[in-house]
Amino acid sequence: MTMTRDTLIAAFPGVGEVRAQKLEKLGLTNAAALLTWYPRDYEDRRQVYTIREAPLEGRVCIAAIAAEHPRFSRIRKGLELVQVKVVDAAGALHLTFFNQSYVERAIRAGEEYIFYGTVEEQGRRRAMVNPIFERVGRQSFTGCIMPVYRLTAGISNHLMATLTRLALDCASSVPETLPASVRQAHHLAAAEFALRNIHFPEHEASLELARRRLTFEELFYLAVGLHFLKQRREETGAGCPLPLRPLEEFQALLPFALTGAQRRVMEEMSTDLAGQRPMNRLVQGDVGSGKTVVAAFAAWLAVQGGYQAALMAPTEVLAEQHFRSLSALLAPAGVRVELLTGALTPGEKKKARLALAQGEIDLAVGTHALISSSVSFRRLALIVADEQHRFGVAQRAALAEKSGTGGMPPPHVLVMSATPIPRTLALIVYGDLDVSVIDQLPPGRSPVETYVIREDKRQRMYNFIRKQAGEGRQVYIVCPAVEENTEWTEEAAAFNLKAVKSYTEALQRDVFPDLRLGLLHGKLRPREKEAVMAAFTRGEIQVLVSTTVVEVGVDVPNASLMVVENADRFGLSQLHQLRGRVGRGGHQSYCVLMTNTRNPDSLARLRTLASTTDGFKISEEDLKLRGPGDFFGSRQHGLPQMKIADLTGDMRLLGEAQEAARLLLEEDPTLERPENRPVLERVRQLFADTPDIFN
Ligand code: ADP
Ligand code: MG
């Protein structure tokens, strides 16, 4: 068959309808897609051992001759064995294959094969179970560096490698899209070489060259695309300049002195806000660094300038809390603050919307519903998105459309995030934003003491809760409630919602009959949630048992102890967020991570958390361990997915790629020179799903 980039995988030998469908689920439909389905890892199968010399650690290749005809036996229904002894000049190896009856015919006595598997010692015999094998002289996947692919059920790595090898027949027809000048300046391998060697590298050095080229390419197109995106935003023309105000005037409203970092960020913001173009700024600051007041300042500026502002929080609980603290702060300055959440009755909702539309509300606080099409503003000048890790490019693009009402220019946008994300990832999600960092905590905070505690010390943990409550402090207990019917039901059954409820009841009845407990979970109605949270804030609830709805943003300074049940089920960044719920007042605070796990990796992870409070370090660790999915959901950031760029590292290459993009665009801003057209094409493709970049 002649292979082209468009050849459908369904037409590949060995791929029937069933497999084609499974591959399609991975997004693999044709040869071109296979070529960019880069290996996630490699196995070095180059070294071929003799039976005696083969190490017992890890999987190895052994060359040996079948000493007999394979023996087939059926142990019971569903369990078939093929056994065969193979030998070399100095030793014998006993092979067992489970449920692979074809092996009986595939291995022939007297022929030499390479066997790839783990050598075990059974008494004085050496043995291997289910090795991969190939005839010597007809090897394709032994004696080489073998790619390891991400797979799906029913598709083996062997099949994936076989298909990719076939697809590589068209590698020479893959166009070179990187301009020659860029390739030269950055010493990048040619496209064809890179493709061949990323899948089947001849040696480490060629793999490195391939990876460098492909990673660079990916980051380069991303950088070019983001540049267009930013430029486009700047071209959207006039924003809504907000008159400058002395910071001291705002400071006078506060019960505390702003930190230097807060002041700096506020200055950066006011400059943006006073400018002719809409602001697009990300304010990043670790949990507890005091982002809310920065948002309040922006809102205050907008209202002083005669406009409206909107603040969106990811949960109703958080929206409610922001509403309370922002009203307390800004009402004395004459700002009319209103809460718009699902907790309102339809009547109240209608009234609030009307007031917004007529300009009788200055600052609206709510959830995503705030930017739905049924809400209109009279003169909206600022939108703040708090802790919206998923508030990516696509959502921001939707906002720009929101504005126009009443002939208003596009609003200023302020995104606030506590998740200190590694720079590569930040570039992807927030690449089109300007960034301010609050890199200082308010004074008087002592770091939260963190402990990893096993089940056998549960009683002591309860005693500690009692002690904290006795001193007038408040306590969170967070359980990883999991919806029933999720994939890990069995394991998670311990803490489904029912369990959280009965756990709370048992705690109240048997452990803390004298304390006031409350329960907060995602299935409560908004009003109920609000009531529980308000009671906790007022100190009426001493111990709040909850699912992760308290994760982000909740601020109750009197809370001094955070207990996390089954802590190993959470991501590190999530635990860091949870821990950030305490240590917000002047009291020494504690975080207790309960776990049953015996898995050394999980324990090590939890100990990382106990050993550092640096959110940045923690998120990098998390990213390494769990991948970027946890940060942003699959593709919610609305920007292209990286196929190869290692989001944790590749910092140097990122810098190079950005620089190359900048240079290229400086020389040819619209990429209309013939040699740059392919770049434009690639960027278009890459950003095909991103609204609004080119039209
Ligand atoms: P986050 O950055 O996590 O959103 P918050 O805005 O909720 O942090 O602030 C955490 C706590 O610190 C709040 O109780 C807030 O009132 C307080 N706070 C903020 N800035 C200061 C400051 N400069 N000095 C003292 N306390 C502050
Ligand atoms: Mg916050």
Q: Mean pLDDT throughout 483-496? A: 43
Q: Mean pLDDT throughout 142-162? A: 86
Residue 572: half-sphere exposure toward Cβ, Cα within 13 Å? 30
Residue 487 above 50 pLDDT? no
Band (171; pLDDT cuts 50, 70, 90): confident
Q: Is 256 in the pocket of ligand 1 (CB under 6 A)?
A: yes
Alpha carbon distances (Å) from 121 to 56, 67, 96, 318, 322: 8, 19, 13, 59, 64
pLDDT the model gives residue 225: 87
Atom of ligand 1 nearest to the CA of 438: 2
Q: Is 289 in the pocket of ligand 1 (CB under 6 A)?
A: yes
Give the residue, by CA position, lying nearest to ligand 1 atom 24: 442
Atom of ligand 1 nearest to the CA of 580: 3
- Measured CA to CA, the distance from residue 110 to residue 68 in angstroms comes to 7
Q: Please write the tens of the pLDDT for every residue from 566-585.
A: 898 888 878 888 898 898 88
Q: Please write the tens of the pLDDT for every residue from 314-331.
A: 778 788 889 989 999 999
- Measured CA to CA, the distance from residue 531 to residue 522 in angstroms comes to 14
Average pLDDT of the chain is 85
Q: How far is the CA of 262 from the centre of ligand 1 (A)?
A: 10
Band (645; pLDDT cuts 50, 70, 90): low
- Give the residue from 326, 39, 323 showing the smallest Cα distance to 164: 39
Q: Is 258 in the pocket of ligand 1 (CB under 6 A)?
A: yes
Helix axes 157-167, 191-199, angle to 10 degrees: 160
Backbone φ and ψ for 183, nearest 5 degrees, come out as -60, -40
pLDDT the model gives residue 494: 47
**491-496 long-range Cβ contacts below 8 angstroms, 24+ apart:** 492/569, 494/566, 495/565, 495/566
- Give the residue from 69, 432, 387, 399 showing the smallest Cα distance to 233: 432
**Which of 293, 317, 321, 589 gets mutated to test ligand 1 (max ligand atoms within 8 A of its CB)?**
293
Q: How far is the CA of 441 from the centre of ligand 2 (A)?
A: 13
Candidate from 127-131, 179-183, 263-267, 545-549 with smallest mean pLDDT: 545-549
Percent of residues, the chain, with pLDDT higher than 90: 43
Collapsing DSSP to helix, strand or coil, 129 comes out as strand
Atom of ligand 1 nearest to the CA of 387: 4
pLDDT the model gives residue 344: 80
Band (418; pLDDT cuts 50, 70, 90): confident
Q: Is 585 in the pocket of ligand 1 (CB under 6 A)?
A: no
Give the residue, by CA position, lying nearest to ligand 1 atom 27: 442
Q: Where are the beta strands (DSSP E) in 69-144?
A: 71-76, 79-88, 91-98, 112-118, 120-122, 125-129, 132-135
pLDDT the model gives residue 193: 95
Q: How far is the CA of 218 from the centre of ligand 2 (A)?
A: 34
- Measured CA to CA, the distance from residue 12 to residue 162 in angstroms comes to 10
Q: How far is the CA of 477 from the centre of ligand 1 (A)?
A: 22
Q: Is 287 in the pocket of ligand 1 (CB under 6 A)?
A: yes
Q: Is 419 in the pocket of ligand 1 (CB under 6 A)?
A: no
User: What HEC string does 310-375 produce?
Assistant: EEECCCHHHHHHHHHHHHHHHHHHCCCEEEECCCCCHHHHHHHHHHHHCCCCCEEEECHHHHCCCC
Q: Which ligand is nearest to the CA of 326?
A: 1
- Give the residue from 216, 249, 212 showing the smallest Cα distance to 332: 249
Q: Please write the tens of the pLDDT for every residue from 251-294.
A: 999 999 999 999 999 999 999 999 988 888 889 888 788 999 99
Handedness of CA 346, 350, 356, 362 (dihedral sign): negative
Backbone φ and ψ for 245, nearest 5 degrees, come out as -135, 145
Atom of ligand 1 nearest to the CA of 285: 2
User: What HEC string does 263-309 produce?
Assistant: HHHHHHHHHHHHCCCCCEEEEEECCCCCCHHHHHHHHHHHHHCCCEE
Block residue for tokens 């040819």:
668
Residue 473 above 50 pLDDT? yes
Q: How far is the CA of 291 from the centre of ligand 2 (A)?
A: 6
Q: Is 577 in the pocket of ligand 1 (CB under 6 A)?
A: no
Give the residue, by CA position, lying nearest to ligand 1 atom 5: 290
Q: Please write the tens of the pLDDT for every residue from 343-393.
A: 788 898 899 999 999 999 999 999 877 877 678 888 999 999 887 655 555
Backbone φ and ψ for 544, nearest 5 degrees, come out as -105, 110
Band (658; pLDDT cuts 50, 70, 90): confident
Candidate from 145-154, 413-422, 459-468 with smallest mean pLDDT: 413-422
Contact 433, 282 (CB under 8 A): yes
Give the residue, by CA position, lying nearest to ligand 1 atom 25: 442
Alpha carbon distances (Å) from 517 to 255, 317, 504, 584: 31, 18, 8, 21
Q: Is 117 in the pocket of ligand 1 (CB under 6 A)?
A: no
Residue 489 above 50 pLDDT? no
Q: Does 644 or 544 have the greater pLDDT score? A: 544
Atom of ligand 1 nearest to the CA of 287: 3
Contact 564, 465 (CB under 8 A): no
Helix axes 677-686, 204-235, angle to 10 degrees: 80
Residue 540 above 90 pLDDT? yes
pLDDT the model gives residue 518: 95
Q: Please write the tens of the pLDDT for every residue from 610-635.
A: 888 887 778 777 766 665 544 444 34
Give the residue, by CA position, lying nearest to ligand 1 atom 20: 290
Q: Is 321 in the pocket of ligand 1 (CB under 6 A)?
A: no
Atom of ligand 1 nearest to the CA of 262: 23
In this structure, what token pair is assigned to residue 162?
């076989």
Percent of residues, the chain, with pLDDT higher than 70: 86
Which neighbouring-strand residues pair with 496? 482
pLDDT the model gives residue 488: 36
Residue 642 above 70 pLDDT? no
Handedness of CA 3, 5, 10, 14 (dihedral sign): positive
Residue 309 above 50 pLDDT? yes
Q: Is 557 in the pocket of ligand 1 (CB under 6 A)?
A: yes
pLDDT the model gives residue 490: 37
Please give the distance of CA 274 from its chain centroid, rounded to a whole number.
34
Which residues are within 8 A (CB) of 338 and not within 5 positions of it... i.e. 6 or more apart? 323, 352, 355, 356, 361, 363, 364, 365
Cβ < 5 A residues, ion ligand 2: 291, 553
Band (522; pLDDT cuts 50, 70, 90): confident
